[in-house]
Amino acid sequence: MKFIRISGTLCTLLWLQAALVYGQQSPAYSLSFSPAIGAHILPENDRALNDLIVGADLTYGMSLQNRRDPWIERLNAREFGISLFFRDLNRLDGHLDTSANSFGKAYGAAISLDFQLAKAGPVTFHFIPSAGIAYITKNYFTHPDNRFIGSHLNQMLKAALQLEVPLGETFDLLANVHVLHLSNGGFNIPNSGINSGNVSLGVKSRFKTENAREPRRVFRQLDRNTVELAAGIGRRGVYQRRRGIARAGFYGGYNYRLNEVIDLRGGLNAAYYGTVFDPQRRNETYQHFGSSYDPWRLGLSLGVGVKMSRVEVRGMAGRYLHFNSLHDINYYWNAGGTFFLSPHWGVQSTLHMHRFQADFVDLGLAVKI
C-alpha cells in the first residue's frame, strides 16, 4: 500500500536524522511523524464507529522548557507545534450509507500545545490540543449527498492523549489516541461536521541545538480582577444556499483572578439577529437550534479562562434569560480565544454552540478594564 510505504520512509529518515545529531547539546526543536487510522463517530447509526479514515500528521515542535513564563510552569507546557495533516475521507458512507463517495480528502495546517500530564520512569504522558484550518475537496455544494460538510474551508479541532517512549537520547516512539472535528462552524449549511475517533503510532526526532535564550520581556495580561467587554460579527449559513445571515455576538462580564494563569468568568451573553425566523420563509430564515422569533437573545454564563502570554482561551456554559426559540432551547455554551495586542485589548473570536451543534462564529474585539 502506497501510504504505508511513504510512512515507513519518513520514519526511517527521522531515525537517521536522530542518529546524526546524537551527542550534541540539549534539544530545542523536534520533528514528528504519525500515521493515523480512525473512524467516523455517528451516534445516529446502528454502530457507534462507522467507516474507515486513514491519514497522517507531520509536526515541527519548538521546546518551551527553557522559558520561565508563569503559564508554562503552572500548566507544565513542554512544546509548541506547527502541524501539517492529511485525512482520506473517501471511505465514509455517512448516515446510513446515504453519502458514499461524497467526502473526498482533507488537507490542513494547525498549531498545538503539548502539556505533560504525568511521568513513569522514562515514559511520559501528554495532553495535546490543536486548532487549525482544513481544506476538504468535496462538500454539499459539489456533492449534494454530503450533508456533513458545507464548504471547502473548515476549522479543525483536535484533542489528543499521547504516550512517549524514548528509544534513544534524541528519538521517541509515540502512541496517540485523539478525537478530530472538522466543520465550518455554521458558515455554510448543511454542515453537520465530521467527528472521528483515531489512533496513531509514530516517531519523534529531537534536534540537538543550543539552549534557547531567555526572553528579555515576558508579556503579561492584567494581573488582577477585571471587567471584560467583547463584541463580534459573524454569519449563519442559509440552508442549501451559498449566502448567509448576519449575526452579532456580545459579552459583558467579570473575571475573578484565581492565579496568574486561570480566571473564573461570569457574565451576560447576547446575540443580535440580522434575520429572525419566519415560518412563511422557512428555508431562508431557519437556523436550526439557533432559530429565534425575536432579534435579541440574552443569557447568563459561567466559565474559565486560561491565560498563556498574549493568548487567552475560554469556555463558558450558560442558561438563557430570554430566547424566543423555535426549538425551546434553554442552555448554551461558548468557546473561544483572544489575542491581546496590549494588556487592555485584543482581537477575539467566539464559537456559539447549542448542544453539539455550532450556531455561528463571530470575530471582533475584547476590552479588559
Measure the CA–CA gap between 314 and 10, rounded to whole angstroms: 37
Share of the chain above pLDDT 90, in %: 75
Q: Which residues contact 318 (CB under 8 A, 6 or more apart)?
A: 269, 299, 300, 301, 302, 331, 332, 333, 334
For residue 156, give the nearest of 248, 244, 87 by alpha carbon: 87
What pLDDT, on a 0 to 100 scale, did the predictor assign at position 65?
Answer: 83
Instruction: Assess whether pLDDT exceeds 90 at residue 211.
Output: no
Measure the CA–CA gap between 94 and 88, rounded to whole angstroms: 14
What pLDDT, on a 0 to 100 scale, did the predictor assign at position 356?
Answer: 86
Higher pLDDT, residue 283 or 58: 58
Q: What is the mean pLDDT of residues 268-297?
A: 96
Q: What is the mean pLDDT of residues 341-352?
A: 97
Q: What is the mean pLDDT of residues 21-25?
A: 40
Partner residues linked to 304 by β-bridges = 264, 315
Instruction: Assess whether pLDDT exceeds 90 at residue 28.
Output: no
Q: Which residues contact 150 (CB under 8 A, 6 or more apart)?
A: 139, 140, 141, 184, 187, 188, 189, 190, 191, 237
Lowest mean pLDDT of 10-19, 129-138, 172-181, name the range.
10-19
Instruction: Assess whether pLDDT exceeds 80 at residue 48.
Output: no
What pLDDT, on a 0 to 100 scale, did the predictor assign at position 50?
Answer: 64
Measure the CA–CA gap between 147 and 129, rounded to whole angstroms: 27
Instruction: Assess whether pLDDT exceeds 70 at residue 218.
Output: yes
Catalogue all structural domains in the chain, each as residue range(s) with its CATH number: 2-208 (2.40.160.20), 226-368 (2.40.160)
Q: What is the mean pLDDT of residues 237-265?
A: 95
Instruction: Assess whether pLDDT exceeds 60 at residue 301.
Output: yes
Q: How confident is the model at residue 19 (pLDDT cuts 50, 70, 90)?
A: very low
Q: What is the mean pLDDT of residues 11-23?
A: 40
Q: What is the mean pLDDT of residues 95-114?
A: 88
Highest mean pLDDT among 23-32, 139-148, 174-183, 190-199: 174-183
What pLDDT, on a 0 to 100 scale, did the predictor assign at position 31?
Answer: 96
For residue 361, give the nearest of 197, 112, 193, 109 by alpha carbon: 193
pLDDT per residue as tens digits for the range 312-339? 999 999 999 999 999 999 999 999 999 9
What pLDDT, on a 0 to 100 scale, did the predictor assign at position 147?
Answer: 86
Higher pLDDT, residue 22 or 99: 99
Q: Which residue has the cell 537520547?
A: 169
Instruction: Assess whether pLDDT exceeds 60 at residue 24.
Output: no
Read off the amino acid at residue 317: A
